[in-house]
Amino acid sequence: MQYLSPTTVDDAVRLLSSQTGDCKVLAGGTDLLVRMRSGFAEPDSILDIKRIDELRRIAHDDGGWRVGAAVSGAEMGEHADLVADWPGVVEAVNLIGSTQIQGRATMAGNLCNASPAADSVPAMIAAGAVARIAGPDGIRDIAVTDVPTGPGKTCLKPGEFITSIWLPSRPDRSGDAYLRFIPRTEMDIAVVGCAVALTLDAGGTCTAARVSLGAVAPTAILVDAAADTLIGTTVDDTALDALARACSDAAKPIADKRGTVEFRVHVAGVLAKRAAIIAKTRAGGAP
Amino acid sequence: MALDSKTDTKPQTFKVIGTRPLRPDGIDKVTGRARFGADMSAPGMLVGLVLRSPHAHARIRSIDTSAAEALTGVHAVVTRADFGPLRDEGTADVLDNCMAGDKALYDGHAVAAVAATSGKVARQALKLIKVDYQPLPHVTDVDAAMAPDAPALHEGRADETVPAGMSGNVMARHEFGHGDIDAGLSQADRVLERTYRTEATHQGYIEPHACLATMNSDGQADLWCCTQGHYMVRNTCAAILGLEQGQLRVTASEIGGGFGGKTTVFLEPVALKLSQKSGRPVKMVMSRAEVLRATGPTASSSIDVRIGMTRDGRITAGFAELRYQGGAYPGSPVDMGSMSAFAPYDLENVRTVGFDVVTNRPKQAAYRAPGAPMAAFAVESAIDELARGFGLDPLEVRLKNAAREGTRASYGPTYPAIGLEATLRTAKDHPHWSAPLGPNQGRGVACGFWFNFGGDTCVSLNITPDGTVTLSEGNPDIGGSRASMSMMAAEELGIPYDRVRTVIADTGSLGQNEVTDGSRVTFAVGLATIEAARAAKREMCKRAAQVWGIDEDAVIWEDGAARPAGPNAGQHPPMSLAEIAAIASNTGGPIAGHFEVNAEGAGVSFATHMVDTEVDPDTGAVKILRYTVFQDAGKAVHPSYVEGQFQGGAVQGIGWALNEAYIYGEDGILQNPGFLDYRIPVASDLPMIDTVILEIPNPGHPYGVRGVGETSIVPPLAAVANSVSDAAGVRMTSLPMSPPKLLAAIQSGTS
C-alpha cells in the first residue's frame, strides 16, 4: 500500500487522477482507518490531504466562513468567531466521537463518509453550506445537500475530492441548532438527527428557515415543508406542533437495531421542536 | 505452643485491614507498562487467525485447506481433524466451541485457524480456506427453542431430569424449594402472575482474548494468556491436546477485565495446536467482533413468576419457572438462577423450576453472579408491583419477609449470620430514601443475593534475607487482590504493607488454584495467605527460641516481632522479622510459610440497591439521577476496592437494564458485534454511584471477609426497572428498557 502526502491541491489532484488502483483520500481518518483495521477497506493507496496548508485553515470568505477539508472538529470548536456565527454546525461536528476523535475528525470527512446518520450533515444542510470540490476538470461548488447520494455514496467523480466547506454569512437575528437522539449520552451514532436554522425579523417573526433531518432516509434531507411551518410565525407552540408534524411526516426511516420506524418518526418531530426552540433563542427570540 | 491461642482468634483491632493504600500495579497500569495478553512476543513468532462460520447453524460437509497451506508464509492450518476425540463430555464441548466439529452451531463459530508470518498473510490464507456448508434451520430465542418443533442442535443429549416430550433443545431441568405453593397462594390477598424477559449481555471486558503459545517437539509447552484462571487453562488445554499437566506451564498476563468471561478457553488450545504443527511460537489476539460473536455472553431469559401477598405485605408463596438459553452447549446458569431467585426471603412456600436450553448462539460464559441478576429482576419486580399495589413501602415489605440467621433458604441450607436486614434498615435510614423527586422521576429498590465460593487454593509466603516478604498466589489479580493479599499478610505479620509484595505465580510454581470466580479470592486466597503467614510466624518463633535457648512454646509473635511469652520465659529483647530473617541461614535456612486448602465457609452475601431515574416521556430516554448501593462485605479489607466492586456491579447492571443486548436478525446473525451498537454505559451516562459498606463478619474467615464482587450486579436490573416503572407510570417487564421499547410502552400506557 502506498501513502501519498501532497502539499498542494494541484499535486493532490494529479496524484489522485494517476492512481490506477483503489485510492482513498485521508483527512482525519476516523472512518477510513477504522474500516481498514476491521478489514472492510483495503486500498492500494492513501492520499493524505493534511499536508496541504490551505486545507487546514478556517478563513473569512465572501461574508461567510470557509472551513478547510483537513480542519479538525476540535479546531472548529476552539474558533470563537465561527462558533458565534454557526453554533449549531459546530456543536454537530463536536458531537462526533470522543475528545480524541475530535482532534482528528473533519467536517468534510463526515460528509464524504456519507452515512445517513452523520451528525454534521443536517447542520450543514440547514446552514445552506456549499462544498468546494477539486478534480481533474478544475474546481466546482456544490450544495452540501447534493453531495451524499445514498448510504456510503457521494456525487464525487473519480479523481475528485472536497477541499473545503463554505458556510454562508449569517444574517442578523439568526440562529441554528442541531440535536440528535442517542440511547446514551455520548460516543454514539444518531438514531435521529435534526438541525434547524432560522432568521427572525425585529418583531420576532420568522422570515427564513431551513430544517434538515438525519437518519430517517438514505441521506440527510432538507424538509421544506417543515421550514414553511415556521416562516411567518413567531415560532410559538402552534408553529412548533406543526413543525413536529411536518418532520414526522417527512421522516421515511427504516427499522434497524438502533430504532423502530415508529420511534424515529415520532422522535424526528420531538427533536425538531426542541432544536427550533434553541435556534430561536440563539436568534434573540423570546424564549 | 502459645502462639496458636494468641493468633487464632480474630484481632480486635486492625492496623492494615480497612486502610486504603495505593495499588501496587497502579504505576504500571497508568503508564502503559503493564503487560496484557497481547503484549508478549517471542522470536520467530507467527500470527494465528481464526476462520469463523457465517451461518447460524450449518453442517460442515468438508473443509479444503490446501490452497491456504500452499500460500507462502503460511506455516500451519488446523481444523477439528487435528484434534483427537475426547471422552469427557464437558471438555469435548469446550473443544467443540474452540473448533467446530461436523456442525457450525452459531454465527462466529470457529471452523479453522491458520498461523502465518504476518497478519496480512494470515488474512489472505483465511480467504483461501474453502468450507462447504449445508445451512440448517436455526433458533436463537429461548422460548422458540423450547417449542416442540424447534430445530434441534444436539439430538439425544437431554439430561434424565428433562420430562419426555419436551423440545430436544432442553438439556436439563432443575427444581428447588419447599412447602405447598397452591396452599400458600390461597392465603394471599393478591396473586401476581407475570412473565419477564432479559436479553443476553456480554461481560464487556475491554481487553480482548489473547495468548502466545509455544509447544516444543519434546512435549513441553508454555502458554502466556489473559485469563481468570491459568490453572484451569493448563488443565483444559492439557486434556484437549493430550499433554501431561506438568509439562504445560501457563503464565497469566495482566487482565483487562474478565467478569467471569475469562473462566474458560477459546484461543488457547488452537494456538497450542498451531504451535505444535508449525514448530514456532504462535500469537493470537481476537478482534472486538470476534469477542462479541464467539466468546461467552451470559444467558438470555424468559421467566414466569407467581407470587402471593397479603395486604399487609407478607409473601404467602413464591413460584418461578425460569427458562435460560445458554448458547450452543448445555450449561446455562439457570440452576443458579433457580437457587437464588427467592434466596433473600424467608418463605414457607417456595418453588423454582429451571430449564437449561440450547440455541444457535455462542456458548454462554460466567458473568458476575451467573444466572442471579435475571432471576432477581423477575422476583424483585413482582414484589415491587405487589407492594406498590397495596400502597406499602417496598423496603418495609422486604424487611417483613427478609431472610435472617436461621432462615431455611429456598435452595436448601439454613443461613448463619447474614446481612440482608442490615442493608434494608440502612437503606431505609439513608437520606436517599427520603429525598424529594421531581416530575417524570421515579425511585426503585431491589435486593440481591449471591452464594460466594471458596475452592482449591495454594499460596506460598517467603521471607527474604532483608526481612521483606514475597507472597505467591495463583489467581490473576482482577479486582485488586495483590493489594488485599499484601494487606492481610502485613496485618498478620505485624509489618508495614509496603514490606510485602504479592506476585501472581505461574502454574509451575504453586499447586492447583481454582479460577478467579465466585468472589472467592479475597476470601479463600486471603484465608490461605493468613494461614501461610501464621506458618511463617511459627517458624520465626522457633528460630527466636533457638537463639534464646528456650522452648519454642515459650515464644509469641506480637507487633511484628518474636517475644518471650511471659516472665517465666526469661528476659529477651524482641526479635523483629528483619532480625530473624537476617540470621535465617545460621538458624536452619530460609523461612517460608505456605498453605493449601479447599476453602469452605465463603459466607453468602446480600445487597440492597436504590436508584432514582428520570424518564423523558417524549423519547423514552432514561437518565440515572442517583444510585446508592448497600452491601454486606463481611469485613472490607481495602474499602476503596470494595466500593469499586459495588460501583462496577451497579454500572454493569444499569447497562443490562437499559441498553445492552445481543441483537439477532431473522438470519440468526449477530447484528451488533461492536461497542458502537453493543452499548455499555459510558461515564457521562452515570452519576457517582454511592456506596455504603456494611460489615457483618463471615464466621468462615479469620477476619470476617465475604466476597463482594458478584452480589453487586444482582439487584440493579430490578432496581432500575422498578425506578423506571415508577417514573414512567408503566410497568416494564422486558429488558433492556431501550428508548424505543420504553417510548412504545409509555404511548400505549402499558408494557
Is the pLDDT at A207 greater than 70? The verdict is: yes
**Alpha-carbon gap, residue B231 to A187, rounded angstroms:** 38
Is the pLDDT at B535 greater than 50? The verdict is: yes
Put simply, the answer to whether B682 touches A185 (Cβ < 8 Å) is: yes
**Alpha-carbon gap, residue B96 to B94, rounded angstroms:** 5
Is the pLDDT at A38 greater than 90? The verdict is: no
Confidence class for position A285, pLDDT limits 50, 70, 90: confident
Strand partners, A132: A141, A164
User: Residue B750: its pLDDT value, please?
Assistant: 56
Percent of chain B with pLDDT over 70: 98
Cell for B94? 469446550
Put simply, the answer to whether B621 touches A183 (Cβ < 8 Å) is: yes
Is the pLDDT at B751 greater than 70? The verdict is: no
Q: Identify the H or E element spanning B555.
A: strand B555-558
User: Residue B5: its pLDDT value, please?
Assistant: 37
Amino acid at B210: A
Q: What is the mean pLDDT of the segment spanning B519-546?
A: 98
Q: Do the strands A130-135 and B58-64 form a parallel or antiparallel pair, or are they unpaired?
A: unpaired
Average pLDDT, chain A: 97
CA distance A259 to chain B (A): 6
Put simply, the answer to whether A259 touches B740 (Cβ < 8 Å) is: yes
Average pLDDT, chain B: 96
B663, B684, B744: residue with CB nearest A257: B663
Q: What is the mean pLDDT of the segment spanning B235-252?
A: 97
Give, as one character, the DSSP assignment of residue B684: G
Residues of A in contact with B651 (CB under 8 A): none
Q: Specify the domain boundaries for CATH 3.30.465.10 within chain A.
A: 2-47+57-167
Put simply, the answer to whether B744 touches A263 (Cβ < 8 Å) is: yes
Domain range A2-47+57-167, CATH architecture:
2-Layer Sandwich (3.30)
Residues of B in contact with A189 (CB under 8 A): 676-677
Residue A184, chain B, CB below 8 Å: the answer is yes
User: Residue B225: its pLDDT value, please?
Assistant: 98
- The 10s digit of each residue's pLDDT in A215-265 is 999 999 999 999 999 999 999 999 999 999 999 999 999 999 999 999 999
Q: Return the CATH number of the domain spanning residue range A174-282.
A: 3.30.390.50
Residue entry with cell 493479599: B485
Q: Do the strands A64-68 and A161-167 form a parallel or antiparallel pair, or are they unpaired?
A: antiparallel
Query: Which domains are present in chain B?
Result: 4-34+454-599 (3.30.365.10), 47-136+209-285 (3.90.1170.50), 300-452+603-748 (3.30.365.10)
Put simply, the answer to whether A181 touches B739 (Cβ < 8 Å) is: yes
**Alpha-carbon gap, residue B5 to A125, rounded angstroms:** 81
Nearest CA in chain B to A38: B287
Is the pLDDT at B486 greater than 80? The verdict is: yes
User: Torsion over CA of B735, B740, B746 and B750, rounded to 10 degrees?
Assistant: -50
Q: What is the mean pLDDT of the segment spanning B80-86?
A: 96
Asked if B104 contacts B79 with a C-beta cutoff of 8 angstroms, the reply is no
Cell for A148? 451524499
Put simply, the answer to whether B681 touches A184 (Cβ < 8 Å) is: yes
Question: If DSSP codes are grouped into helix, strand and coil, which group holds residue A23?
Answer: strand
**Alpha-carbon gap, residue B267 to B286, rounded angstroms:** 8
The interface residues of chain B toward chain A in range 250-289, judged by CB-CB distance below 8 A, are 287, 289
The interface residues of chain A toward chain B in range 67-106, judged by CB-CB distance below 8 A, are none
User: Residue A189: its pLDDT value, please?
Assistant: 95
Is the pLDDT at B68 greater than 80? The verdict is: yes
Residues of A in contact with B676 (CB under 8 A): 188-189
Residues of A in contact with B618 (CB under 8 A): 266-267, 270
Q: What is the mean pLDDT of the segment spanning B198-217?
A: 97
Q: Which residues, in sequence order, are CB contacts of A34 under 8 Å at separation 6+? A: none
Q: Specify the domain boundaries for CATH 3.30.390.50 within chain A.
A: 174-282
- The 10s digit of each residue's pLDDT in B133-170 is 999 999 999 999 999 999 999 988 999 999 999 999 99
- The 10s digit of each residue's pLDDT in B297-336 is 999 999 999 999 999 999 999 999 999 999 999 999 999 9
B123, B663, B739: residue with CB nearest A183: B739
Asked if A147 contacts A135 with a C-beta cutoff of 8 angstroms, the reply is no
Is the pLDDT at B175 greater than 60? The verdict is: yes
Q: What is the mean pLDDT of the segment spanning B368-375?
A: 98
Cell for B441? 422521576
Confidence class for position B12, pLDDT limits 50, 70, 90: low
What backbone torsions phi and psi does residue B457 show, to the nearest 5 degrees?
-145, 140
**Alpha-carbon gap, residue B235 to B248, rounded angstroms:** 9
Residue B748, chain A, CB below 8 Å: the answer is no
* Helix (H) and strand (E) counts in chain B: 22, 26
Is the pLDDT at B500 greater than 60? The verdict is: yes
Put simply, the answer to whether B677 touches A257 (Cβ < 8 Å) is: yes
- The 10s digit of each residue's pLDDT in B644-671 is 999 999 999 999 999 999 999 999 999 9
Q: Which residues, in sequence order, are CB contacts of B747 under 8 Å at separation 6+? A: A266
Angle CA(B636)–CA(B338)–CA(B363) in degrees, nearest 5? 90
- The 10s digit of each residue's pLDDT in B699-747 is 999 999 999 999 999 999 999 999 999 999 999 999 999 999 999 999 9
Pinpoint the alpha helices (H) of B435-558.
481-493, 526-548
Nearest CA in chain A to B664: A257
Q: What is the mean pLDDT of the segment spanning A194-199?
A: 98
The interface residues of chain B toward chain A in range 119-138, judged by CB-CB distance below 8 A, are 123
Residue A189, chain B, CB below 8 Å: the answer is yes
